[in-house]
A and B are shown apart, each in its own frame.
Chain A
């Protein structure tokens, strides 16, 4: 209920329909169709050169799609100039106007829209409070720290109340600690303002932390769209599973399929249950993924799903990574939380059995 109310007030829906973009002979975006819902925190995630920034710039109006349409709340904005779109951008290098003060930067959009001075002043003051820069309005932006500049850039883009806020890797220039606190800050701002956020990043952790939904991109195409949970726990294909977090790939044969679950036989002969992408009917030999934290290593028993020999143990403080060479030669990693202090219980060369619960395995699309 609340959602629909705030939606009507602020957030816009973005539709990207059949977008293709060529730069000379290079195809940056290959037939992307995405629907970004009103009022959501949507992330375009992928390695550099995957086309995510190009998509963002097409929503902003800095690039025109070679083919396809950009829709805002259902109407085609493909032909509009950047200054005609109710969409604002937070730039990677902030792009603050160095000759203006903090307040003048934040009020720039409203001034260009010809809003009355009194309104600009009051919005600017609200924005300064929102980003915790009260009393800094008269400072030149060049005297601010990186984190403060980042917040001015955010306030400047939010001040005109855009329907959609575009963020182009805005945290990449900050150090780790600041980045973490800005992640929480961004999520708070998005909830408070109810504006649709479209966030571009190559950092999977950032994406998982903040997003309502994530589109994972590679080579100009969208590989998978879903909630952070979908993307992490139910990767549809190898690229997504590999790009997000660490994972184990196992080859298996499909035994039977029933009710969105499949029985697969691993190379060890053990049978486990696995889920699979909705648009796939698994059969024959498939690849199954299991996250390292979903597996347990212990003394081998007759019912162990997998067996292997420990060849490396890496202590990471909170966790220990146990690297196992399975009987069929595949590498497999188990992540154990270090609940108690001391040794993890294995040594190199130990033979171990590996088990996991029934609902953690996922079959990949070929």
Chain B
């Protein structure tokens, strides 16, 4: 009685709202996936089932080029961001509380709060100056920019894990003759591993997905997959971009599933 009366499932409208939410979330994605198998040239008219756009995308050297560039940037940015986030998380949880700690959290998480377009314009100005001074115009700028906005995404899961971790474990290690580095290497890091992997994967997906900042920072010929797709929209569009988006979706689904299993194994 008690349970059924207060169970959210028995509230009026629950079924309808649930269905509506699922449709709103997944109908467009479903449509995208279906239309990526569309044989027709048009984005929106169905012309029979075909995998030809996947083949076309795979064979398109511009797509290949952009995809490889996206992966390189994402790998670098996610790695650097994870290392920085790990250090930041240790520095903000393994010290006694001090004045200005909240400000420090805010500064680390700043990319989550400042509108992306603002960061994009700011980076454009700064990087164009640096380009003039140094003459360097490689992928480094994109890696740096992506690293910056990936840090909070890597930081949050690592910090959450550190905060819930029993401090006496590190104390026990120190008691058993472990130096600070040994304690980190043999106790803290192994216990943090799931959070570090989660943070890395989040950062990786965020970097892979970025359009706004990349669009502003990239030099000519430095298209990533998302900016390439955006560029394609301005010209004649083919279901090829549907196919690419579907591959993206598959990739991020795989990452989420891996993440899920890593976390479950932990428990």
Contact = CB atoms under 8 A, between A and B. Distances in A.
B187 interface: yes
A89 B170 CA distance: 13
A91 B176 contact: no
Contacts of B179: 83, 112
Interface size class of B (residues with CB under 8 A): 10 to 19
A89 B175 contact: yes
A93 B166 contact: yes
A113 interface: yes
A304 B173 CA distance: 62
Contacts of B182: 112
A109 B176 contact: yes
Interface in A88-108: 88-89, 91, 93, 95-99, 108
A108 B191 contact: no
A112 B168 contact: no
B174 interface: yes
B172 interface: yes
Contacts of A81: 174
B172 A112 contact: no
A89 B172 contact: yes
- Among B166, B168, B190, chain A packs the most CB atoms within 10 A around the CB of B168
Chain B interface helix/strand/loop/mixed? helix
13 contacts: A61-B174, A61-B175, A62-B175, A81-B174, A83-B176, A83-B177, A83-B179, A95-B169, A95-B171, A97-B169, A99-B190, A109-B177, A112-B176
Interface of B: 166, 168-169, 171-179, 182, 186-187, 190-191
Interface string A49-82: 0000000000011100000000000000000011
A160 interface: yes
B95 to A, nearest CB: 16
B75 to A, nearest CB: 27
A98 B190 CA distance: 10
Given A83-B179, A88-B176, A95-B169, 8 more contacts: A60-B175, A62-B174, A82-B175, A96-B172, A98-B169, A98-B191, A112-B176, A157-B176
Top 6 A-B residue pairs of the complex, sorted by shortest distance between their CB atoms: A109-B176, A95-B172, A95-B168, A112-B177, A82-B174, A112-B178
A61 B176 CA distance: 12
B231 to A, nearest CB: 47
Given A83-B179, A112-B182, A95 B174 contact: no
Contacts of A82: 171, 174-175
Interface in A276-312: none
A93 B168 contact: yes
- Among B174, B177, B179, chain A packs the most CB atoms within 10 A around the CB of B177
Contacts of B191: 98-99
A88 B166 CA distance: 18
Given A83-B179, A160-B176, A97 B171 contact: no
A156 interface: yes
Contacts of B190: 99
A160 B179 CA distance: 15
B187 A113 contact: no
Interface in A131-183: 156-157, 160
Contacts of B187: 97
B170 to A, nearest CB: 9
A90 to B, nearest CB: 10
Contacts of A89: 172, 175
A82 B175 CA distance: 5
